[in-house]
Amino acid sequence: MDFQQLKAIVNNSENIVFFGGAGVSTESGIPDYRSGKAYIDGNSVLPEEVLSKSCLAGESERFFQYYRKYLLHPNAKPNDAHLALVELENRTKLEAIITQNVDGLHQQAGSKQVIELHGSTRQNYCMVCGEKYDLQFVLNSRQNIPRCQLCAGIVRPNITLYEEDLDSGVIQIAKNLIATSEILVIAGTSLSVYPAAGLLKYYRGECMIIINETPTRYDGLANYIISDRVGKVMKSLII
């Protein structure tokens, strides 16, 4: 692969869409909760078992134990990948970011056009009355289960749980962005989580770039494959 050629292609484009996964945030110290082992009260658990609609409804204490331990990272800071995307947006090269992450680091870095497929831990709402709360409210809650100040209902994160469907409006926006993009950069994802990964079939362009340290299911469709850290590669593209 001619990296300088790839850099020139990126710098000459004004319609790049970035599709990112957990690997974009791991350099900020946020582990991929889908990989590795998780424990609650000394017992091994699977994310699809605990981070689910039914667990939130029937075992709220257990849900929030997992959620607080494995999904909340309030001290995490944007890394080189997030900052490079801000720079590309400022240069009017980047059309949008489509992310599977729920940490809000793209917005914290300064990106404006961010499509969050699975929602965000920074947005929360009461399951009873709908009152909205920020992340700080959840972090400051003296109880493991955060409760609404108006009605005492459970305050849940505005993220898509297992057993829940993705927001159809958000999916449609992502489809349109991918379909009309000139360059599609896919980074930090194994492309094994559906339906998010299925959005890539809507790409009609001729420059699909995959940046991931391990092979993905879409490598055969990519025009460029870079097996390296996302932050390192993205920073190199803007220098």
> Which one of 73, 82, 106, 118 is the catalytic residue?
118
Give the whole-angstrom CA distance, residue 191 versus residue 219: 10
148 is in an annotated binding site: yes
Q: Are 199 and 19 in contact (CB under 8 A)?
A: yes
Alpha-helical runs (H) found in 91-238: 105-109, 135-140, 168-180, 230-238
Residue 118 annotated in active site: yes
**10 Å Cβ neighbour count for 149?**
12
- Give the C-alpha separation, 99 to 117, whole Å: 6
Residue 148 · residue 129 · CB < 8 Å = yes
Question: Is 207 annotated for ligand binding?
Answer: no
Alpha carbon 10 to its chain's center: 22
- 55 appears as a binding residue in the annotation: no
Active site residues per annotation: 118
Question: Binding site for Zn(2+): what residues are annotated?
Answer: 126, 129, 148, 151
Residue numbers in the known binding site are 126, 129, 148, 151
